Amino acid sequence: MAELRLSEDMPVVANELRHSYGWFLVLGIALIVLGGIAIVSAVVTTQISVVLIGWLLIIAGIMTGVNASRREAWGGFFLDLFTGVLYTVAGFIIAANPQATAVAYTLVIALFLMVSGIFRAVAGAAMHYPYSGWTTLHGIVAFLLGVAIWREWPISGEWLIGFYIGIELVLNGVTLAMLGFAARKLARLSGE
């Protein structure tokens, strides 16, 4: 396996960044705008994302069922057929009931945050390693966020997924834009 040698590879990376800074800026700004739209219309974004998941399952189910029917002699025929039917039925249920699905997903997210938050907080407090306090803080924040979502449930199910998607897009956009600004500064310093 090739080992990354920063001293040798950095000029290549720096050169690539210098020539691509405009793209990073444009992409970053576009993601910030899209994320803002998703946040402002979090309910619609939630509905669209849940329906998309449903349709993806439907398509996967049909493809799996077709694969099973073409390979009847294979020992996994019934497993593939069952999986295809399960995906298709689940996809139809999700696509037909996006609001109920979003509410259910949100409850799962809240429970996940609470349980993982407890484990992180306990692990951070019990294990003493550099910066373990951040792990404890992360756990406490995750737990409190889970509790907040759960207390607002089922209403939080209408907007949470879309809001999360928007936040993710904005943060990714800011990261790429900052990379673009840094690359632009690198290009200026190198005289290009």
Query: Tell me: the pLDDT tens digits for 143-176?
Result: 998 898 899 888 888 888 888 888 888 988 888 8
Domain segments of the chain as ranges: 27-176
Query: Tell me: the pLDDT tens digits for 70-89?
Result: 776 666 778 888 889 999 99
pLDDT value, residue 25:
85
This prediction's pTM? 0.67
Mean pLDDT computed over every residue of the chain: 83
Distance, in Å, from the CA atom of 157 to the CA atom of 79, rounded to the nearest integer, reads 33
pLDDT value, residue 4:
43
Alpha helices (H) in the chain, listed in sequence order:
6-40, 42-70, 77-96, 98-126, 132-151, 160-189
**φ and ψ of 153, to 5 deg:** -70, 140
